[in-house]
Amino acid sequence: MPSARSRGGQTPYPGSDFEHPPQPNSKDLLVLLEEGGKHEGCRVADPVDTFAANLKALRHERALTQEALAEAAEMDAAEIRRLEAGKRDPGLRVISRLARGLDVPLVQLLRDVA
């Protein structure tokens, strides 16, 4: 691959040898879409699904039922079920309540959420 210097004399960041990674062509993008984003180590995950998995795992680690978590977080158990099923996109206030109910830092619920 030609360097950034040979293409125009300048790198994207003056004083560095940084080069842009190769850009995918339209055929690569079509394959990526057909495979659901799973291409050469590329991980495309739905943030709501990732949050749901984190919530459920943390609840299980603490041996809490959905009802017990709902009570600790001052929420409805049906809401906990919807969140764990990935059927609801939670806001910051809901995430904060859940973190308090689980007694974990808020960022643990957002682990690996892109």
User: According to the 3-state scheme, what is the secondary structure of the chain?
Assistant: CCCHHHHHCCCCCCCCCCCCCCCCCHHHHHHHHHCCCCECCECCCCHHHHHHHHHHHHHHHCCCCHHHHHHHCCCCHHHHHHHHCCCCCCCHHHHHHHHHHHCCCHHHHCCCCC
The structure's pTM equals 0.62
* Tens digit of each residue's pLDDT (9 = 90 or more) over 38-96: 445 555 578 999 999 999 999 999 999 999 999 999 999 999 999 999 999 999 999 99
CATH 1.10.260.40 in the chain, residues? 47-109
Q: Measured between alpha carbons, how far is residue 24 from residues 1, 13, 67, 110 in Å?
A: 14, 22, 47, 29
Please state which CATH number belongs to domain 47-109.
1.10.260.40
Residue 109 has pLDDT above 70, yes or no: yes
